[in-house]
Structure 1
Amino acid sequence: MNARTDLAASSRDGHLALRRVERQQVLIERLHAAHGRLLPAGALAEQLGVSERTVARDVERLRLSGVPLEVRPGRGGGVRLAHGTRPVPVHLDLPEIAALMSSLAVLGPSVSDSAASAMRKLALAIAGG
Structure 2
Amino acid sequence: MNRGTRLAASSRDGHLALRRVERQQALIEWLHAAHGQRIRLGELARGLGVSARTVARDVERLRLSGVPLNAHQGRGGGVSLLPARSTIAIVLDLPEAAALMSSLAVLGPSVSQSAASAMRKLAEALNPTDPGGR
Structure 2 length-normalised TM: 0.93
Q: Does 1:104 align with 2:104?
A: yes
1: CA distance, partners of 2:22 / 2:95: 24
Equivalent residue number for residue 54 of structure 1 = 54
Instruction: Give the unaligned 5+ runs of structure 2.
Output: 130-134
Give CA-to-partner distance per residue, 1:91-122, whole Å, 9 cap, x none. Answer: 11111111100000000010111100100000
- The farther-off stretch of 87-96 and 36-45 is 87-96
1:71 partner SS: strand
Structure 2 counterpart of 1:93: 93
- Code of the residue aligned with 2:84 in structure 1: it is T
Secondary structure at 2:126's aligned position in 1?
helix
The C-alpha deviation readout for 1:4-49, integer Å capped at 9, x for no partner, is 0000000000000000000000000000000000000000000000
Deviation at 1:75, TM superposition (A): 0.9
Q: What is the distance in 2 between the residues matched to 1:121 and 1:70? A: 28
Give the secondary-structure state (helix, strand or coil) at the position aligned to 1:91: coil
TM-score w.r.t. the length of structure 1 is 0.96
Gaps of 5+ in 1: none
How many residues in Structure 1 have an aligned counterpart in Structure 2?
128
Q: CA deviation at 1:88?
A: 2.8
Alignment RMSD: 0.9
- Corresponding residue number in structure 1 for 2:64: 64
Cross-structure match for 1:78 = 78
Greater radius of gyration (CA): 2
Counterpart code for 1:70: N
SS at match of 2:111: coil
Q: Distance in 2 between matches of 1:10 and 1:88?
A: 36
d(CA) in 2 for partners of 1:118 and 1:46?
27
Q: What percent identity do the matched residue pairs reach? A: 73
SS in 2 for 1:31: helix
Partner in structure 2 of residue 5 of structure 1: 5
